[in-house]
Chains A and B, each alone.
Chain A
Amino acid sequence: MNSLYYQKRLSRNIGDKFFTSLSVICALIAILPLIFLVTYILYKGGSQITPELFSLEPNPPGDDLDAGGINPALIGTLIITSIASIIAIPVGVGGGIYLAEYSKGGAFSRFIRFGVNVLAGVPSIIAGVFIYALIVSTKILFGSMYSGLAGGMALSILMLPTVIKTTDEGLKLVPNELRYASLGVGASMYTTILKVTLPSAFRSIATGVVLGIARAAGETAPLIFTALFSYYYITGFGDLFYEMGSLAVLIYNFALEPYDAQNKLAWAASFILVLSILSVNIFSRILAAFTEKTKRV
């Protein structure tokens, strides 16, 4: 009869040791560069932050040492992302409501859910190409070509699947009893949805939507030939119909410039972009964890 004691030289135990170390090595290879990446971006970008950064226009690339600031790009990102949200949120939430509340799992809703997944997998640059063909090259928007509006539309295509999905899934988590309770006292379907189901799914939908917005804010590919880029302050409503800068495109353009001053501006813009996206993510994570905890009690 074998001894119960652990025997190092057993092939089984050697194998176990080997694979355990292998998975530790995998985790290290995966995580160390990622930690390095984040700290580097935060350190390198953070050291470029000055008050003027937020108020100045960027100077056109050249030999002069002062690159200026990123004000137009910062405002541009806010505007373009807002346009995208204004389009994608109502359409997405409305579509999600149909899928979760009205559809009965028939062919149509299966097709739409399938379409949502496919659209989520469409490369972001294709969204840019599509809007370019539809809006930019046709000058359909009052004769303007590249514009912040077109950029926002391109981004909204990327946001739409996220919004529909989170709405659909958030509503599906609402227990049916709640719906029956409302319908049972004679409320109509739309009152039930607006007053009962939607509010109780609000937090999970909001979290998903906010994460979707954060992701869209960092997207570059759909903007480079729809919104293009601009060096100038955004002064009024009319600027929506002209080229508009954004943090993401600024990083792209200035990273490829041979001048150190522009490169530094790209790092500064990265810092702001990454910091805001990460804080939105972390905040929603904490919120989600918190809700889960309170629910359990």
Chain B
Amino acid sequence: MEEKLTLFKNRKRFGIEKNIDIIFKNTSLVLSSFVAIILLGIILVVFFQSFESFSRYGLKFLVTSEWNPVKDEYGAFTAIYGTLVTSFLSLLITIPLGVGTAIFITEDFVPKVVREIIGSFVELLAAIPSVVLGLWAIFVMEPFFRAFFVFLHNFFDWIPLFSTEPTGRNSLLAILILVVMLLPIVTAIARDSLNQVPKKLRNAAYGIGASRWKTIFSVILPAALSGIMAGVLLALGRAMGETMAVTMIIGNSNAFSWSLLSPGYTISSMLANQFGEADGSQVSSLFYAAFVLMILSLVVNIFAQWLVKKFSLKY
């Protein structure tokens, strides 16, 4: 026995190996905490950089829409309004379309192969860079919708949202390109949530003579609701933070207007437009706007995570 043991020269762990083990563990621990460090770093840096502007304009910054580097007057209301309006309205269009599409590809209306092709195609679209969508929006979407916008204005100009003469790029185009961007996200998440609904629930409803859509509306959608909601919130976060496509098509004007047919601004498009050339208190004001954007998307994101956690235990 003794003799045999000596053949294994590493039978006793050397100190060095123990140390490597400890070093390895601690390195990975440090690396994982990088996430927290970066996250905190972002929040702190953006907060402190915006401090000058914050102490100068306070909360008035959020409700005035004067943005004048010459007079040193800053208020981000136009951009904040634009961010909220474009993201919420685009979501309003996306949700029924995305959920409807998700239902279409989770039910058996068409053969499975066709559904899978549609599903993966929609997923692929999420991979298209937003700057490319912006390019497409400028050269294809804008000319395509021009006549439609004139029509909207001519017949609905009594609605404040359509009260201005359409002139090229505007908020409504930004909303439409956001719909194109969000659709894959909402569809994919809604499809996954619908697929996760246990099959036995569907059997239960069919077994007592529920029709297909009765089953969908009263059993399947309610069971998938929390997942779909979380997906919608994630999409909302994306919409609020989306920069390139929106910047390229929204028209970038700080003049406030209720109308979707006039050029607008979002916080992110304002940052993209002005950050490179700003100096002095304008930079601080831009950081202030960035801080507002960050808080908005953090709140939405954390709420989405909370929703997932709260409802994922149900089945």
Residue ranges of A at the interface with B (Cβ–Cβ < 8 Å):
12-13, 15-16, 19-20, 22-27, 29-31, 33-35, 37-38, 40-41, 90-92, 94-99, 101-103, 109, 111-112, 114-119, 121-130, 132-134, 137, 157, 160-161, 164, 188-190, 193, 211, 214-215, 217-221, 224-225, 228, 248, 251-252, 255-256, 263, 266-267, 270, 273-274, 277-278, 281-282, 285
Cα(A161)–Cα(B105), bound, Å: 29
The answer on a CB contact under 8 Å between B135 and A123 is no
Do B98 and A30 touch across chains, with their CB atoms under 8 A apart?
A: yes
| Inter-subunit contact A114/B243 (CB<8 Å) | no
| Residue numbers in A under 8 Å from B28 (CB-CB) | 94-95, 97-98, 101-102
Chain A contacts of B59 at CB under 8 A? none
- B129 in the interface (beta carbon within 8 A): yes
CA gap between A167 and B187 in the complex, in Å: 25
CB neighbours of A24 from chain B (8 A): 104, 109
Which B-chain residue is minimally distant from A29 (CB atoms)?
Answer: B97
**How far is A116 from B271 in the complex, measured between Cα atoms in Å?**
24
Q: Which residues of B contact A (CB under 8 A)?
A: 13, 17-18, 20-21, 24-25, 27-36, 38-39, 41-42, 45-46, 49, 96-101, 103-105, 107, 109, 118, 120-122, 124-125, 127-136, 138-140, 180, 183-184, 187, 211-214, 216, 234, 237-238, 240-244, 248, 268, 271-272, 275-276, 283, 286-287, 290, 293-294, 297-298, 300-302, 304-305
Our pick among B20, B31, B184, B240 for the contact of A95 (Cβ within 8 Å) is B31
5 pairs of A and B residues whose beta carbons are closest in the complex: A123-B241, A26-B100, A218-B129, A94-B31, A95-B32
Closest Cβ of chain A to B211, distance in Å, is 5
Contacts A37-B125, A274-B132 known; 9 new A-B pairs at CB < 8 A? A95-B28, A111-B36, A115-B39, A117-B305, A122-B42, A128-B275, A190-B20, A252-B134, A263-B139
Check if A98 sits within 8 Å of B101, measured CB to CB.
Answer: no
Q: Can you show 27 pairs from A to B with CB atoms below 8 A apart?
A: A15-B213, A23-B101, A26-B99, A26-B101, A26-B104, A27-B101, A30-B100, A31-B122, A37-B133, A40-B140, A91-B31, A97-B28, A101-B28, A118-B39, A122-B298, A126-B297, A128-B271, A129-B46, A129-B286, A214-B127, A220-B129, A248-B129, A252-B134, A255-B135, A256-B138, A277-B128, A277-B129
Q: Give Cα A118 to B243, complex, Å.
A: 18
| A101 cross-chain contacts in B, Cβ below 8 A | 28
What separation, in Å, do the CA atoms of A114 and B36 have in the docked complex? 9
**A16 to B215 CA separation, bound complex (whole angstroms):** 10
Task: Give the residues in chain B near A109, CB-CB below 8 Å.
Answer: 32
Q: A30-B183, A31-B121, A34-B122 are in contact. Are A228 and B131 (CB under 8 A)?
A: no
- Contacts A34-B121, A123-B241, A134-B41 known; A41 to B136 CB distance under 8 Å? yes
Contact B301 A117 (CB under 8 A): yes
Contact partner, B132, options A41, A128, A130, A190, Cβ 8 Å: A41
Q: What is the distance, in angstroms, from A48's C-beta to the closest C-beta of chain B?
A: 12
B271 and A125 within 8 A (CB): yes
Q: By the criterion CB–CB under 8 Å, are B97 and A220 in contact?
A: no
A34/B125 in contact, CB under 8 A: yes
Q: Would you call A133 and B129 a contact (CB within 8 A)?
A: no
Chain A contacts for B36, CB-based, 8 A:
111-112, 115
| Cα-based distance from A224 to B116 in the complex (angstroms) | 37
A255–B276 touching, CB < 8 Å:
no
State which of A37, A102, A123 has its C-beta within 8 Å of the C-beta of B25: A102
Q: What is the distance, in angstroms, from A61's C-beta to the closest C-beta of chain B? A: 16
Chain B residues with CB below 8 A from A91, complex form: 31, 34
For the complex, give the distance between the alpha carbons of A4 and B237 in Å. Answer: 50
Using Cβ atoms and an 8 Å threshold, which residues of chain A touch B109?
20, 23-24
Selected contact of B38 from candidates A38, A40, A157, CB within 8 Å: A157
Q: Are A134 and B45 in contact (CB under 8 A)?
A: yes
Complex CA gap A3/B42 in Å reads 68
Asked if B107 and A133 make an inter-chain contact with CB atoms under 8 angstroms apart, the answer reads no
Which residues does chain A contribute within 8 Å of B242, judged by CB atoms?
A: 123
